[in-house]
């Protein structure tokens, strides 16, 4: 597992905690400071900036993943309801397809949010370093 992948997994762990973004960044900053050398941080940041998509759909999924996945959860539920009520096995296909699409959208949004959190943390580390240099 690469350095970037490890950092994204750490960010996903931080996203599971209920706290403010500033607290998540602070905790992640400490973890990055311990696990990534300063020379590698710039390379990881560049790799991450190249990895994060900038199109409108990915930004929407990053910010509103649950709202976008909601219609697909509805399709899955409706397929289940109709499949059971009318005893139609083909309706269960809608359940499976809707559930898979909704899950994939949520997983993609979660990953994008974790990538953005790592990028914000690396930028904060860089800003603190430059501030310390200016103070000296």
Q: What is the 3-state secondary structure (H, E, C) of the chain?
A: CCHHHHHHHHHHHHHHCCCCHHHHHHHHHHHHHHHCCHHHHHHHHHHHHHHCCCCHHHHHHHHHHHHHHHHHHHHHHHHHHHHHHCCCCCHHHHHHHHHHHHHHHHHHHHHHHHHHHHHHHHHHHHHHHHHHHHHC
- Number of structural domains the chain divides into: 1
Per-residue pLDDT of the chain (136 residues; tens, 9 = 90+): 688 899 999 999 999 988 888 899 999 999 888 888 888 888 899 999 999 998 999 999 999 999 999 999 999 999 989 888 888 888 889 899 999 999 999 999 999 999 999 999 999 998 888 887 777 6
Instruction: Give the per-residue pLDDT at 133.
Output: 79
The pTM of the full predicted model, rounded to 2 decimals, is 0.86
The residue segments making up the domain with residue 10 are: 3-135
Instruction: Give the per-residue pLDDT at 38.
Output: 82
Instruction: Give the per-residue pLDDT at 60.
Output: 95
The residue whose two tokens read 């309706």 is 91
């Amino acid at each position: 597992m690469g350095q970037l992948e490890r950092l994204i997994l750490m960010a996903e762990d931080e996203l599971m905690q209920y706290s403010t973004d500033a607290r998540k960044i602070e905790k992640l900053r400490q973890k990055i400071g311990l696990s990534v050398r300063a020379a590698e941080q710039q390379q990881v940041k560049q790799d991450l900036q190249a990895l994060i998509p900038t199109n409108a759909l990915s930004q929407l999924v990053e910010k509103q993943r649950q709202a976008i996945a909601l219609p697909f959860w509805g399709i899955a539920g409706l397929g289940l309801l109709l499949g059971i009520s009318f005893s139609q096995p083909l309706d269960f296909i809608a359940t499976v397809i809707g559930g898979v699409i909704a899950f994939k959208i949520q997983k993609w949004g979660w990953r994008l949010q974790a990538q953005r959190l790592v990028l914000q943390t690396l930028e904060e580390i860089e800003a603190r370093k430059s501030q310390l240099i200016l103070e000296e």
